[in-house]
Amino acid sequence: MVKANWTVLVFLAGDNDLEGAAIKDINEMEMVGSLEGKVNILAQVDRAADYDNSNDDWRSTRRYYITKGADTKKITSKLIADLGATNTGDSKVLMDFIRWGFNEYPAKHYMLVLWNHGSGFYVPPEMLLGENAPSSREITTRALPKLRRSMFRTAREHILSLPPKERGICYDDGSNDCLDNKELKNILQYASSLIDGKKIDVLGMDACLMTMIEVAYQVKDYVKFLVGSEETEPGDGWPYDRVIKALVDNPKITPKDLAVHIVDRYIESYDKFGEFDTDVTQSAMDLERLKDLVDSIDNLADALLKNLQDPELDGAISKAWRKSTRFFDNYYIDLHNFASFLKGGVKGKIQKACQYVIDSIEGRVKKATPIVAEGHLGPRMERVKGISIYFPPFRNPSVYYKELDFANTTKWGDFLEKYLT
């Protein structure tokens, strides 16, 4: 079978309050459509029961080969299969979609887009009860987020039936289920195995708060480029017509150039005076260039741990945190912001460690920054640099953080635990 240049798989977990947005985004894809023999655009969409009644209000999960169509209200693409009721929180459902797409539409390059609700690595504490649940202070200080598109959320009913250390991704109202981070990593490993151990070229997170160092590190072994947002995304999410047009206009586009293009088109789509009143971010990361940045964060955490008894350090950390751009009700901070502000309030090894983080983000270490594209809009986002890190405002950080690969590799989690307890 002749390979296309690109196959794009968009997994739309729309069995929730984003159902209408899922239909709209498929219509955006149809404004351009696939390019036979060169670019395959595949979509699998799960619908909810109560949010959108268009397209005959079908309620099952459908799989489409996206073709060009002029109707902006009705899905006209080729229906490949009606899968009946599915659970987007079941890893087997996503793995089956990936296996089908890779086998039926082989290509030189692959992009997987995960489209859903979420909140970085974190599960909102109001979703958790029982042993290892957050403290009452954490729950009361955590306001309900105004998330429009976010990926890491979960249902209370399902969480209560699981061991307390599990976290969620790909929220599914109909089944009260979700994927956790370990499952996501396993899914990507499985996807890589289908293409002889090669990495997925681009992992797109059409979701909120996903360009965190923790998320990037979690998927680095199986993905080349990660594209997503530090901040919550507006309801319109990605401009799929503009993204797909880049592929159809130039099927030989490289993975890096595609990742950069997505960032540019995303920011461009919201740069309309008076139409949107929200802050917007988008960035692309080369996950094969994470090592220096990860080493620099580990070095900073180590320096902070060794000097926590210094009474002046607490004030410097607190001041840097307050001045930094923060996300998700202050749970996450822009990493470059924090290192820059902290550098101005400390001396010696900690100051040098802060500069190491800054240099790693800006590409002055081996000239290899992992941030290959970054864009932002809105006055609150003026200083962001495309990557965030977990640093909550309350004592007793999340017990779930310790399960992340990043926390097991660096001392950042140890620093948070010492500093916040």
DSSP string, 384-395: --S-EEE--SSS
Strand-pairing partners, residue 202, are 111, 225
Q: How confident is the model at residue 148 (pLDDT cuts 50, 70, 90)?
A: very low
Q: How many helices (H) and strands (E) does the chain have?
A: 14, 14
Res 144: pLDDT: 34
* Alpha carbons 412 and 388: distance in angstroms, whole number: 13
Q: How confident is the model at residue 368 (pLDDT cuts 50, 70, 90)?
A: confident
**Cβ neighbour number for residue 81 with a 10 Å cutoff:** 12
Mean pLDDT of the chain: 82
| pLDDT of 99 over the 90 cut | yes
Q: Does domain 4-120+178-289 have CATH number 3.40.50.11970?
A: yes
Strand 61-65 and strand 39-47: pairing? antiparallel
Question: How much is the pTM?
Answer: 0.86
Q: What is the mean pLDDT of residues 240-251?
A: 96
- Give start-end residues of each CATH 3.40.50.11970 domain in the chain: 4-120+178-289
Please choose, from the candidates 335, 334, 336, 354, the residue with its C-alpha nearest in 3D space to the C-alpha of residue 344: 354
* Alpha carbons 105 and 3: distance in angstroms, whole number: 7
* Alpha carbons 106 and 395: distance in angstroms, whole number: 49
Six-digit token string for 417: 């635990």
* Alpha carbons 36 and 39: distance in angstroms, whole number: 6
The answer to which of 255-259, 327-331, 352-356, 392-396 has the lowest mean pLDDT is 392-396
C-beta separation of 419 from 308 below 8 A: yes
* Alpha carbons 347 and 160: distance in angstroms, whole number: 46
* Alpha carbons 82 and 75: distance in angstroms, whole number: 14
Q: What is the pLDDT of residues 20-65, one digit of tens each?
A: 677 888 999 999 999 999 999 999 987 655 655 565 656 678 999 9
* Alpha carbons 178 and 153: distance in angstroms, whole number: 8
Helix (H, G, I), strand (E, B) or coil at 75: coil
